[in-house]
Structure 1
Amino acid sequence: MSWDAMLVTRRDRGHSEGSWTKGWWALFLRHLEYLSALAREGHFGRAAAACWVSQPTLSDGIRKLEAEFGVAVVRRGHRFEGLTPEGERLLNWGRRLLADRDQLMAEFGRTSHEGLTGHLRLGAVPASLPPVSLLTGPFRDRHPGTNLTVLSLTSDEILRRLTDFELDAGLTYLSGEPMAGFRTVPLYSERYVLLTPENGDFAGRTEVGWAEAARLPLCLLTPDMQNRRILDGLFHRAGVTVTPRMETNSVSTLCSHVRGGRWASVIPQAWLGLLGVPPGTRVLPLARPAATSTVGLVILDRDPPPLVVSALVHVAEELDLQRSLDNLVPVDLTARFDG
């Protein structure tokens, strides 16, 4: 059943136009919040906890949605079994309505002397987490009335959560992933270096090839991370297939294991200036092939975008993150990449 048909059905059951009051809308939006939480959590109890209500209250709210439109929204069994096709359609509309409500409240719920307020939810791929403060810091300085949440997510999760209105913006790779329905803002080029024990196989070397690096006991991010998929592609271009001795989805875990002296890793150059070179290790530029990947912001293609999103994009476009990152790393490494 279409959304318009649902509204017609509702009116045909005897509801007048006057019943669309502020109180009805507030309750209706609250019930949509219950539905969104249930779809996100996949469990009635967890969804109720996320909405700070009891499970019977949440279940009753969803039943009222079903009664309102005369359709089944949830497939019920002994536990939550997903949404019906009508429920999925209602969920999509509901998420847009809730996002528009939040945007409207942010825009009109502030006075001119307060400046921008609101909550910015940013998802970032793990490889971009060390440099993320170079963006969030200037944003917070410009808009001190805002709050931020930064979540470590895969590139696929970022796109999904943006589509579901669970994020406002993402910091991710801008190549290799479908971007239909999104706007992008390039921020910097990710460059790659080998982090290896100081007295390891390449002591005395000034650079190393990808094929040589593949022979080391490597610790890399897991294959669901786009950084790892990029690295696999670069190793493939060098004619080798890499088999890591250890995999992790945590940047800090990766660095701590290399610091222990048993593993080496291929890491983005941007990490060096912000995390430093771990004691007992050294950094070598990777050559043959030389490669970079573009990292940037991705947001939903909405017109107009939410105020906090517009403000973030404006700050990002003013920054020169590439220069900031290059100023944080050793000069000789930058010279090798530029040369």
Structure 2
Amino acid sequence: MLDKLEMFIALAKAEHFGKAAESLGITQPTLSTGIKNLEEQLGIKLVFRGSRFGGLTPEGQSALVWARRIVSDARQLKDEMRYKKHGLAGQLRVAVIPTALTWAAKLSASFSQKHPKVRFTVLSRTSIDILSMMDNLDVDAGITYLDNEPTGRVSTEPLYRESYMLICSKNSQFANRSSVGWKELEGEKLCLLTPDNQNRRIINRHFRDAGATADAWLESNSTVVLVANVEDNNWLTVLPIELAKFLTRGKPLNLIPMSGTTISPSVGLVAPYHEPHTPILQALLSEARQISILND
């Protein structure tokens, strides 16, 4: 039944038989047969069918919660048995908000030094996407904001608090300032992350609190694009301090601290709640606790 539950989870995620089958590397008829067999085994209708996928039935919605739990537990069992035989080994999939990618590098590097048999996949995603991916078992953990959006029932390890820097060219009017207020940036040519990123919503709130508007001339989901436009077009952007330092290293750009009333959201590692966690996830949470600057 486990393989059919994984088919069901994939279908619920893709909301399309063909796309779900492709994601699993099977044919669409195989997927359709698997879902029908699962319905027969459970004695309920899981999916509304017509000429195309019509959504999950109410019973299907309830079954999805159980399917995710059962598949997650089965994977946890496999991880536990692999640990008993080989020690910490395998693959960790971690989704990370764009502004925390330097911290993902810190965590993976520190973890890998202690556990060299563990491989990492690190994906850049929005905070909302990260929670969805954990629910769908697409990733094992995430690095995201801890106090701005509901995270649900998860285990957390805070890593740091965000503080912000203006990035500008050396000939900018702000280049030699010791600090810049949010209100002063109103009307300037700003390039910022897209609104689906929680960082952008936090930046917008800073501007609102200062009685100003964050009017972006360019929006991107890539922080590299933002810094490139500052360098090439003499525009301005605002990013968390560690990421700003990393992206501007060796470039003719200045970093100016943002002043005034500031929000300092907490960012940390999140993982689906289990008691106990798999050995590999427990080790990752412990490593996050070790490198956190909030535990000093």
The match for 1:244 among 201, 216, 228 is: 216
Deviation at 1:322, TM superposition (A): 6.7
Q: TM-score, normalised by structure 2?
A: 0.94
How far apart, in 2, do the equivalents of 1:144 and 1:117 lie?
8
Which of 110, 120, 142 is residue 114 of structure 2 equivalent to?
A: 142
Letter aligned with residue 51 of structure 1: L
**Partner amino acid for 1:45?**
G
Does the CA-based 8 Å contact 1:210-1:289 persist in structure 2?
no
Q: Which aligned pairs between 1:177-216 and structure 2 lie closer than 5 A?
A: 177-216=149-188
1:223 to 183, 195, 204: 195
Give the percent of matched residue pairs that are identical in Structure 1 and Structure 2: 39
Deviation at 1:323, TM superposition (A): 10
User: What's the C-alpha RMSD, in Å, of the aligned pairs?
Assistant: 1.9
Say whether 1:65 aligns with 2:38: yes
Could you list the per-position Cα deviations for residues 304-330 of structure 1 after superposition, in whole angstroms to 9, with x for gaps in the alignment?
122221110011111145799xxxxxx
Deviations 1:64-90 (CA, angstroms, capped at 9, x unpaired): 011112221111111112111111222
Kindly indicate whether structure 1 or structure 2 has the higher relative contact order, using CA contacts under 8 Å at least 6 residues apart: 2
Question: Alpha carbons of 1:203 and 1:104: their partners in 2 closer, same or farther (altered >3 Å)?
Answer: closer
The one-character-per-residue Cα deviations of 1:118-149 (angstroms, maximum 9, x if unpaired) are 22121111111133100111112211111221
2:124 paired residue among 152, 164, 175: 152
Query: Match of 2:89?
Result: 117
Cα pair 1:261 1:281 within 8 Å, conserved: no
Structure number with greater Rg is 1
- Shift in Å, 1:290: 4.2
1:46 aligns with 2:38: no
Distance 2:162 2:201 in 1: 14
Q: 1:39 touches 1:83 (CA, 8 Å); kept in 2?
A: yes
Structure 2 unaligned regions, length at least 5: none
1:175 to 128, 147, 155: 147
Q: 1:253 aligns with which of 216, 225, 229?
A: 225
Match of 2:272 in 1: 300
The structure-2 alpha-carbon separation of the partners of 1:292 and 1:110, relative to structure 1 and needing over 3 Å to count, comes to closer
Does residue 82 in structure 1 map to residue 55 in structure 2? yes
TM-score using structure 1 length: 0.82
Structure 1 residue 108: Cα displacement: 1.1
Give 1:274 deviation, angstroms.
Answer: 2.6
Residue aligning to 2:236: 264
The number of residues matched between the two structures is: 296
Distance 2:175 2:290 in 1: 41
**Cα separation, 2, equivalents of 1:283 and 1:100:** 47
Residues 14-25 of structure 1 correspond to what in structure 2 (within 5 A)? none
